[in-house]
Every structure is written in C-alpha cells, then in structure tokens.
C-alpha cells in the first residue's frame, strides 16, 4: 500500500472535481445510474450485512469532533463482557449475517489477550468473519488479533489534508502522513483493510475532497468508508467562523456523490452506506446509498441498553433489523423493494488478504496485465458498461484471475473519442469487448 502522495491520471482530478461540483438533477441521475450499473457488474446485487457490536465507548483520545473523547465527562461509559459480545454474535448468526465488526474507541482495557480470546471463541462458535474498529493500536496487539482470527480492520484516514487532519485528530500519531502508515501496517499483517474519508469537514473544499477520493483509489482498499461530518458540537474545536464553512461541500449530497465516484474508481471494493448519512437529513439513507453504488450495510447488534451511550455524534440512528423474528423486518422488506438481497456467499475478490498468515503475510503479486475500462459518462454510455461484463466473464472462464486484473477508471479527458479501454500501457479508443478479448488471447497465448 503506497503511503506517499497519489499520482492521479492526467485529467482525472478535473473529472472528479466536475462531478463533485455538479448540481443539475439530470446530470446527477447519470452519475447515480453509472455507479449503480458498475456496482451490479462488478459486485452484484447481494448486500453485505455486517453486524456491528460496539463493545466499549471508553476512549483515551481527544478528537475534536467526537463525543466519545475522554474529555466528555457527562457520557455514561460502558464496556461489554465477553458473554455479551458472544451473545450479540449469536444473534448475527440468527439473522443470517456472515460477518461482524467489533467497534470501540481507543480503549486501553481491551488488551491483546482479552480480545484475542473473544475473537477465537467467536470464530470457533459462529464461523463469522470478524472485523475490528478499535483505533490506532500497537503492532503487537494488531498481530495478536490477526493471529486469533480477525479478518478485516476498519480505520478511516479521514483526510489527506495535513492541516485538517491535525484539527480533527488531536494526537496526529503519524505526523504529516496521518494514518497512512498505519494502513500499510495492517496490510502487511494480512488484514483486509477498510478505510476512507469524512465529507464536509470545516475548512475542506472540493479540491481537497477530490484529492481524498483519488487517494482512496491509490490505496487499493478492500472496503471504502464514506461518511458526512457530524460534529459532537459541545466538544468541537474546529474553526467556527463563516469563512471556515464557505467552501465546504454540503455533506449529505456530497457524501452520496463520493460514494458513487468511489464505486466508479474502485469497482470491486465493498462500499458501505454508513449510519451517519441518516444524521445529516437523508431520509431512507441506506436505500439512497445502495442506489448510488453501495453494496454493504451495518445493522446494529449492540445491546439496546448501551446504544444511546455510543454517542460519537448527535442524532445517530442505528440500522436495526427490528421485527425480523416476527417474520419480516423493514430492512429485508426495503431490500426486496430495491431488488436486492442479503449476501449469502463470500464474493471472490482480487486480493485475498484475509487468507495470509498473521506472522508470515503473503504479499500480493502484481498482475501480468491490467485492463482499465473507463466509467466516464461518455465512454460508459457508448458501450463500456457492456464491455465490463464480457471481459470479466472471459477472465473468469479462462482462470486468469490474478494474472489479469479488470479495473474501472475515469479516462484522461478522452471520452469524446470513447469508449476507451486500457490494456497494459496502451489505450484503445472505440474498443469493444471482442477486440480486448482478442488482445488477452494473444497476450496469454490462449487457444480458441
């Protein structure tokens, strides 16, 4: 994982920037459609439901926007017992979920041994995939939890803007690089890595946000987290002047644009619709996210008595299965209405970091050949939406996964000559699937 500055393709920044500043409803409908079709082509209609268990609201940090920070003396603190955590995991199995994420602030009482025992017990009893969202932990803790069976780690890098990051994150642990070295460390240990950004931070502008989205693509993440800025205002240490908000993109709509753009740029990543979208005035937030490129949701499994105490931001609306055991839940019914269904099988990914050993991680081999299909509006409408399916089917049918990688991108301002498809270092205009497949046959010396 590259922790240095991303180098976007020429013209890509402008294309991302144009979409972030677009406000015409008919044009935004095109963006939503492109993202939704790309999601369907690359990851399918199944929705990953990952049960969230907030195991502690203790935190030793003083992040300026977060209500869990240690200076919040009014917050009732809790820490779940191992029995409570395993009980929540059993509920996940009853709901048919395939994974859970154990989430907390930076709680020093969650030791490597204590949590490692819970992870081992949870995996043994339930077989669920286990994600962790526990803040910036030590190398020893991360290695121990990976060895115990943890599969994925969730930690936003928040923003690539050093000044904004320092305002948000009091300790600024990794200096000018922010959290990027931490993400590289996670990958080296064999974790699937989930990270992303916050949209609408005071002082943020669309140029900075475009750079953050380009950074996401460069990081090659397994899951991308996009959420709006929702400050716990009584603790806010951010700029309060009107000038600080003058160029800040509106968080609700801009978060949905960012989800759509991330789907186009990172077509095979998991992209969740996060609960915070509902806190910035988006009615039916999960459905809107799922229609704009998202393929993952985080239903709440934390014991109800503790849910209001996990007050990281005001107005938090947990996603709940509600009356599922009485026959049908509003969540499942809404998925049906959208033509979507809960995922029941693990989707094959380009990278299987979760299968690497915690102590001897298997490095990802670079593919022999990259095929990049432009998802810009012009290339997309001229045939690249169909090209994706045919090339991907060919790669799978001839067992070329790992040797050939199919990626989406925004081409370098050449959409008027499209549809454009990159094969290795060459860009082919007016390229249809048959022509690209013939190039693949030649490159890999395949028979008819």
Q: According to the per-residue pLDDT averaged within each range, which of 4-13, 110-119, 274-283, 357-366 is highest?
A: 110-119
Q: Which residue has the higher pLDDT, 269 or 163?
A: 269
pTM of the model: 0.78
Domain boundaries, the chain: 12-355, 369-444
Q: Which of 340-344, 405-409, 421-425 has the highest mean pLDDT?
A: 340-344
| Average pLDDT taken over every residue of the chain | 82
The reported pLDDT for the residue numbered 331 is 84
Q: Which homologous superfamily is 12-355 in?
A: Aldolase class I (3.20.20.70)
Q: Tell me, what's the pLDDT at 229?
A: 87
pLDDT at 206 over 50: yes
Which tokens in the block code for residue 437? 């497949």
Whether the per-residue pLDDT at 6 is higher than 50: the answer is no
CATH fold of 369-444 reads Glutaredoxin (3.40.30)
Query: Mean of the pLDDT values across residues 273-294?
Result: 88
- Does the structure show a pLDDT above 90 at 214? yes
Could you give the percent of the chain with pLDDT greater than 70? 80
Confidence tier at 365 by pLDDT (50, 70, 90)? low
CA distance 32 to 411: 18
Q: Is pLDDT at 8 greater than 60 in this prediction?
A: no
pLDDT for res 351: 42
Helix axes 12-21, 206-219, angle to 10 degrees: 130
- Average of per-residue pLDDT across 411-418: 60
d(CA 235, CA 228): 17
For residue 305, pLDDT over 70 is answered with yes
Averaged pLDDT for residues 436-448: 82
* Residue 58 CA: distances (Å) to CA of 105, 300, 318: 6, 18, 19
Comparing 447 with 163, which gets the higher pLDDT?
A: 163
Residue 385 confidence (pLDDT): 66
pLDDT for the residue numbered 409 = 64
Mean pLDDT of 238-261: 73
- pLDDT score, position 213: 95
pLDDT at residue 361 tops 50: no
Model confidence at 411, in pLDDT bands (50, 70, 90)? low
Lowest mean pLDDT among 42-56, 159-173, 320-334, 358-372: 358-372
Residues 382 and 418 sit within 8 Å (Cβ to Cβ): yes
The per-residue pLDDT for range 310-350, each reduced to its tens digit, is 877 777 778 887 643 334 567 888 898 899 999 988 776 55
Are residues 314 and 67 in contact, defined by beta-carbon separation less than 8 angstroms? yes
On the question of pLDDT at 254 being above 80, the answer is: yes
Cα–Cα distance for residue pair 309/129, rounded to 1 Å: 26
Lowest mean pLDDT among 130-144, 185-199, 211-225, 388-402: 388-402
| Contact (Cβ atoms closer than 8 angstroms) between residue 314 and residue 282 | no
Closest listed residue to residue 260, CA positions, set 18, 422, 5, 73? 18
What pLDDT band is residue 302 in, cutting at 50, 70 and 90? very high
Rounded to whole angstroms, how far apart are CA atoms 131 and 139? 17
The percentage of the chain sitting over the pLDDT mark of 90, rounded to a whole number, equals 45
């Amino acid at each position: 994982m590259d922790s240095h500055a991303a180098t976007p393709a020429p013209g890509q920044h402008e294309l991302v920037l144009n979409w972030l500043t677009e406000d015409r409803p008919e044009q935004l409908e095109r963006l939503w459609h492109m993202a939704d079709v790309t999601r369907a082509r690359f990851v399918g209609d199944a929705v990953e439901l990952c049960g969230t268990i907030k195991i502690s609201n203790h935190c030793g940090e003083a992040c300026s926007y977060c209500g869990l920070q240690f200076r919040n003396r009014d917050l009732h603190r809790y820490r779940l017992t191992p029995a409570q955590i395993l009980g929540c995991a059993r509920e996940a199995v009853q709901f048919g979920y395939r994974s859970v994420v154990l989430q907390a602030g930076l709680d020093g009482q969650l030791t490597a041994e204590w949590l490692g025992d819970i992870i081992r017990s949870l995996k043994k009893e339930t077989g669920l995939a286990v994600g962790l969202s526990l803040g910036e932990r030590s190398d020893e803790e991360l290695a121990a939890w990976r060895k115990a069976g943890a599969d994925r780690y969730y930690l936003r890098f928040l923003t690539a803007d050093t000044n904004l990051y320092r305002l948000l994150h009091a300790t600024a642990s990794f200096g000018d690089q922010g959290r990027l070295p931490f993400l590289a460390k996670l990958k080296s240990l064999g974790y699937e890595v989930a990270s992303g950004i916050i949209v609408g931070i005071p002082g943020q502008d669309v140029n900075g946000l475009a750079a953050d989205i380009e950074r996401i693509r460069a990081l090659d993440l397994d899951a991308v987290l996009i959420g709006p800025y929702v400050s716990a205002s009584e603790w806010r240490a951010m700029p309060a002047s009107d000038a600080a908000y003058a160029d800040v993109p509106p968080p609700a709509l801009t978060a949905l644009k960012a989800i759509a753009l991330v789907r186009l740029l990172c077509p095979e990543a998991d992209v969740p619709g996060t609960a915070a979208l509902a806190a910035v005035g988006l009615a039916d937030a999960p459905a809107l996210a799922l229609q704009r490129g998202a393929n993952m949701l985080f239903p709440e499994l934390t014991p109800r008595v503790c849910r209001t105490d996990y007050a990281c931001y005001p107005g938090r609306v947990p996603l709940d299965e509600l009356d599922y055991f009485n026959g049908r839940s509003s969540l499942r019914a809404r998925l049906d209405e959208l033509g979507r269904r809960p995922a029941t099988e693990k989707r094959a990914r380009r990278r299987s970091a979760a299968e690497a050993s915690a102590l001897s991680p298997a490095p990802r081999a670079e593919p022999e050949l990259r095929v990049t299909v432009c998802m810009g509006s012009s290339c997309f409408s001229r045939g690249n939406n169909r090209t994706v399916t045919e090339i991907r089917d060919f790669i799978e049918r001839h067992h070329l996964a790992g040797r050939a990688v199919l990626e989406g991108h925004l081409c370098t301002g050449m959409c008027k000559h499209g549809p454009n498809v990159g094969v290795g270092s060459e860009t082919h205009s007016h390229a249809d699937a048959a022509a690209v497949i013939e190039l693949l046959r030649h490159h890999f010396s395949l028979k008819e």
